[in-house]
Structure 1
Amino acid sequence: MKNDAQDAEAICEAASRPHMRFVPVKSPAQQSVLVLHRMRTGLVEERTAPVNRLRGLLAEFGVFLAQGVRTLHQHIVDRIEDGSNELAGPARLALMRGWAQCQALDQEIAWLDKQIAEHAGHDPQAQRCMDVCGAGPLTASAAVATVVDARQFKNGRQMAAWIGTVPRQNSSGGKQRLGRITKQGNDYLRTLRFQGARSAVLTAHRRDDRLSRWIVQLQARVGYYKTLVAVANKHARILWAVLAKGEKFDPSHMCIAPRAVICATNS
């Protein structure tokens, strides 16, 4: 039976284990940065509702707008003020007030973006993270604030597994069966990593470094979506190296396996 007393006993038993790992406590400064990110995420979700509402109401009068906030910014005022459609006066006024609500949310999101960019610009670790292709101020700031101490992970694969970008295993009897990514861990950081990976994959053909050439070759071999997952996984490991070792990102870096080093030494 599960109850508070047994939960407390289990916690004390786990705490006494010599190899038990504990989650580091975030500092007030890191929690404050995460407040900015969570406020921004909430406002973006709140903006989605009035944007969809405006598109749906305009569609009832035969006025269609493509999806996306940018399209709405470019065309909604012209469509509302267009005298050739069947919109009546009260409807035009109501839609303009709805558009004003969207603009107010845009201003709040822009203010939070500025605060997050200032944090990333003044934090040395975040600056090193931004050297990774596809990691902008938003991703760098979130990584530094969320990962309290990257050295809590033994290697980059552990951090990638914590973010949830590694395949789920269902192996048995010596047969390895790998499924889809686990999607465990921090979903916000994972979402940012996939957005950054998408940017890196789409622009890889414009660069000539070792990492970009690998992305282009991988996409030609396995396709776009598998490449996206692989790049997100690799970026998570790179971020671990940047945060845990304090190294500067080098897109042309070549990892030498320990066995190859031993062979070279013996020869």
Structure 2
Amino acid sequence: MKIIRVGVDLAKNVFQVHGVDRSEKAVWRRKLVRGDWIKALLSEIEPGCEIGMEACSGAHHWARLLQARGYTVKLIAPQFVKPYVKSNKNDANDAEAICEAMSRPTTRFVAVKTVEQQDIQAVHRVRASLVEQRKAKGNQIRGLTAEYGLIAPKELLYLRATIPRWLEDQENGLSERFRRLLRGLWEDLLTMDQRVEELDREIEQITRQDPVAVRLQQLRGIGPVTATALLATIGDASQFANGRQMAASLGLTPKQNSSGGKERLLGISKRGDVYLRSLLVHGARAVIRTAQNKTDRLSTWVMRIATTRHPNIAAVALANKTARIAWAMMSRGTDYRPIPE
């Protein structure tokens, strides 16, 4: 009995495995605890065997660990595993579905992230969370002060400057208790600003040290944050056959609902990393704002769309194009070469 393929359903403490032999017969089905499952794999299957897992929390760590021991690891997006789940959903059926899905020739797999990629991604995740918390803190301050007849400006920049004036004004009707609360909220806001600035400096440092990130910033609408987010999310762009595949993985291509020979294209699919897609779209909006007074081919192209269609459509179209150009630069190691006039 030689196991050639194993599907693993990952969990926090209990892992379900499903292994098949050359005749596609299930010969190994076990539920293993977290501390013993690697030992069980080493004792039951030989190096070179294919091991499949869903691309979920912890999957990249286990994939690197198994690759270091000589196994071929394939990570699959959960939506590509779901069609192969038979009958009711449980750990055993999920592991069998993973084993079945990884054997299909048309299944698309997720590239295993390096430790460096996950480090960069962690920086972005923490920064994005802090930005959301800072926004929530500002809204909380506005809501509380409005109850005392003090209306705060919309932008955080002006809110930071207004709070000290409120605290110094002894004639605005604020009680000492609320002044203490407001001072604490202001300090919380300043602490979040400081943490975001620290992470911005970290991202700047990563950008300076990585030549790919330096080249990506040659593209209009891509700065240090978007460049490093591309590195963390995409990594090796050669995993995609062309730029359209990478744009599709980011959810920037239309979703189809075609049948009976009639093609019907809907809005963008919104698959993939929401954070990276939003960065590309916001960067495209910034490009459109400055493209009105420019005559290069990219500016005239995007302004033609912006004047005939909704501005959001133009922004997504430009983000799609930016993703495709980024694929070419990352996969071929080239600089940005715009088409001459």
Establish whether TM, by shorter chain, passes 0.5.
yes
* 2:235 pairs with one of 140, 145, 148: 148
Larger Rg: 2
Alpha-carbon distance in structure 2 between the residues aligned to 1:207 and 1:121: 29
The structural deviation recorded for 1:79 is 3.0
Alpha-carbon distance in structure 2 between the residues aligned to 1:98 and 1:8: 49
Counterpart for residue 80 of structure 1: 167
Does 89-98 or 9-18 show the bigger shift?
A: 9-18
- The sequence identity of aligned pairs, in percent, is 45
Counterpart for residue 230 of structure 1: 317
Q: What SS does the aligned partner of 2:110 have?
A: coil
Alpha-carbon distance in structure 2 between the residues aligned to 1:253 and 1:147: 29
The structural deviation recorded for 1:24 is 1.3
* TM-score, length basis structure 2: 0.70
Q: What SS does the aligned partner of 1:74 have?
A: helix
Which structure has more relative contact order (CA 8 Å, sep 6+)? It is 1
Q: What SS does the aligned partner of 1:168 have?
A: strand
Alpha-carbon distance in structure 1 between the residues aligned to 2:180 and 2:235: 49
Q: Does 1:184 align with 2:264?
A: no
Q: Is the 8 A contact 1:209 1:251 kept in 2?
A: no
The structural deviation recorded for 1:175 is 1.9
* 1:139 pairs with one of 226, 248, 258: 226
Counterpart for residue 27 of structure 1: 114
Counterpart for residue 204 of structure 1: 291
Alpha-carbon distance in structure 1 between the residues aligned to 2:200 and 2:227: 13
The structural deviation recorded for 1:68 is 2.5
Q: Is the 8 A contact 1:43 1:109 kept in 2?
A: yes
Deviation per CA, 1:116-172, whole angstroms, max 9, x where unpaired? 111011111111111111100000001011102111111111111111111211112
| Cα distance change on mapping 1:192 and 1:83 into 2, 3 Å | same
Alpha-carbon distance in structure 2 between the residues aligned to 1:195 and 1:143: 14
Q: How many residues align?
A: 254
* 2:158 pairs with one of 71, 77, 95: 71
Alpha-carbon distance in structure 1 between the residues aligned to 2:150 and 2:91: 58
Alpha-carbon distance in structure 1 between the residues aligned to 2:113 and 2:329: 19
The structural deviation recorded for 1:253 is 5.7
Alpha-carbon distance in structure 2 between the residues aligned to 1:113 and 1:226: 30
Alpha-carbon distance in structure 2 between the residues aligned to 1:39 and 1:243: 25
Counterpart for residue 94 of structure 1: 181
- The structure richer in strand per residue is 2
The residue identity in structure 1 corresponding to 2:235 is V
Counterpart for residue 114 of structure 1: 201
Counterpart for residue 45 of structure 1: 132
Q: What SS does the aligned partner of 1:86 have?
A: coil
Does 243-252 or 21-30 show the bigger shift?
A: 243-252
Deviation per CA, 1:204-245, whole angstroms, max 9, x where unpaired? 124332111211222122131211111111111111111112
Q: Is the 8 A contact 1:164 1:182 kept in 2?
A: yes
* 1:164 pairs with one of 251, 257, 260: 251
Q: Which runs of 4+ in 1 moved over 6 A?
A: none
Alpha-carbon distance in structure 2 between the residues aligned to 1:157 and 1:67: 39
Two-structure CA RMSD over aligned residues (Å): 1.8
Alpha-carbon distance in structure 1 between the residues aligned to 2:339 and 2:169: 54
The structural deviation recorded for 1:19 is 4.7
* TM-score, length basis structure 1: 0.89
Does 136-145 or 12-21 show the bigger shift?
A: 12-21
Alpha-carbon distance in structure 2 between the residues aligned to 1:166 and 1:119: 29
| Cα distance change on mapping 1:251 and 1:156 into 2, 3 Å | same
Alpha-carbon distance in structure 2 between the residues aligned to 1:84 and 1:252: 63
